[in-house]
Amino acid sequence: MLCPFCSCDDDKVVETRSARNHTAIRRRRECTACGRRFTTYESVERDPIRVIKRDGGREPYDPQKLRRGVRTACVKLPIPSLELDALLDRVENQLHNTLGGEVSTEEIGNLVLRELAGLDPVAYIRFASVYRRYRDLHEFLDEVGTLLKSQ
C-alpha cells in the first residue's frame, strides 16, 4: 500500500480490527520510510446482481429503489428504521446468494414479502399490492384472507 504521505510502498501493520459491523477489516499501518501512520479498510467485493424484469429485459440491481419501495410500504407504521435496515440487509444477502447473479423482480418481491409478513401486516399488504399487481379485488381479498388466517 502506497504511503499517502511519502508514497513509499513499504509499511507494517500495527493494528488489525473488525469494523463496520464485521463486514470490514480495519488496519492501522505504519510507513517504514517516514514512520507516519494511516488506516486501510478491507471488505468483500460482491459481483453485481442483475434484475430480470417482467418484460424479460435486464437491468442492474438498484438497492436504493428497493429501499424506497420498502420504506414507502412502512410509512407511518411503528417500525424502527434499524429494523428496516436489518430486513433490507437480509434480503440483499439472499439476492447475492442466488446462482448466476440474476434474479427476477418477482423473486425480489417474494423475498421482501416473506420478511414483511413477519414484521407488520399493514406493510405486507401495501407492498404486496404494488408488487403482485392484483388483477381484481377478489385476488386482493384472497391475499388479505391468507394473511389473517396465518396470524
- Binding stretches for Zn ion (CB under 5 A): 3, 5-6, 8, 31, 33-34
To Zn ion, the closest distance from the beta carbon of 2 in angstroms equals 9
Instruction: Report how far residue 151's alpha carbon sits from residue 146's, in angstroms, rounded to the nearest whole number.
Output: 9
Question: Is 33 or 86 the residue whose CB approaches Zn ion more closely?
Answer: 33
Identify which of 34, 36, 33, 17 has the alpha carbon closest to the alpha carbon of residue 25.
17
To Zn ion, the closest distance from the beta carbon of 1 in angstroms equals 10
Question: Is 33 or 75 the residue whose CB approaches Zn ion more closely?
Answer: 33
Grid coordinates belonging to 30 = 505504519
Q: CA end-to-end span of the chain, whole Å?
A: 55
Question: Is 3 or 51 the residue whose CB approaches Zn ion more closely?
Answer: 3
To Zn ion, the closest distance from the beta carbon of 42 in angstroms equals 20
Question: Is 5 or 41 the residue whose CB approaches Zn ion more closely?
Answer: 5
Instruction: Using alpha carbons, list the distances in angstroms from residue 1 to 7, 18, 40.
Output: 9, 19, 9
Instruction: Report how far residue 125's alpha carbon sits from residue 32's, in angstroms, rounded to the nearest whole number.
Output: 60
To Zn ion, the closest distance from the beta carbon of 12 in angstroms equals 12
